[in-house]
Amino acid sequence: MIKMFIDKNNVNFNSEALKMNNYLLKKFFKGNKLKEAHKSQISNLENEEKIELRRLFYKVYSNNLAIPNTDCYFYQNMNVYPSNSSIDPQDEFVVFEYLSQGNKKVFMKNVTIIEKEWVV
């Protein structure tokens, strides 16, 4: 749906995806926490809409792809871990917004699960 709109209107996908990402983060999140008022709106999205959002985040953050490893994730020659405030992806491919250095580990923030088939 989003891709069709972008193709039809001859829009640069990356810049529009980044704008949409910023809009969604401002609308639904305060800091790293989902705004309470919007939890029900997100849970009421149709499955296809959720997949489109995940695909959009994958396109925006494809450079931040983390691959499951034994007890962590592998990203650019280092082990990274989902932060406590992120979802628990349980051995799924993920993208993340940014990394945060902890005392002993590097943590992924704002994690989104992606489909393995999307990775080219």
Residue range 27-41, pLDDT digits in tens: 666 555 544 544 555
Give pLDDT, residue 119. 87
Question: The whole model's pTM is what?
Answer: 0.64
Under a CB-based contact definition with an 8 Å cutoff, are residues 70 and 76 in contact? no
Q: Which residue has tokens 């082990």?
A: 79
**32 and 19 both lie in a single domain:** yes
Pick from 99, 58, 56: nearest CA to 81: 99
Q: Which range marks the domain in which residue 68 is found?
A: 63-118
- CA 23 – CA 33 distance, rounded (Å): 15
Out of 32, 60, 88, pick the residue that ends a domain: 60
Contact 79, 43 (CB under 8 A): no
Same domain, yes or no, for 70 and 108? yes
The list of the chain residues with pLDDT below 50 reads 1, 34-35, 37-38
Confidence (pLDDT) at 58: 87
pLDDT attached to residue 104: 94
* Measured distance CA(50)–CA(74) in Å, rounded: 25
Tell whether 77 and 48 lie within a shared domain: no
> In total, how many domains does the chain have?
2
- 63: burial class by Cβ within 10 Å (0-12, 13-18, 19+)? exposed
**Quick one: 47 and 69 in the same domain?**
no
Q: If 0-12 CB within 10 Å is exposed, 13-18 middle and 19+ buried, where does residue 75 land?
A: buried
Residue 78 sits in the same domain as residue 100? yes
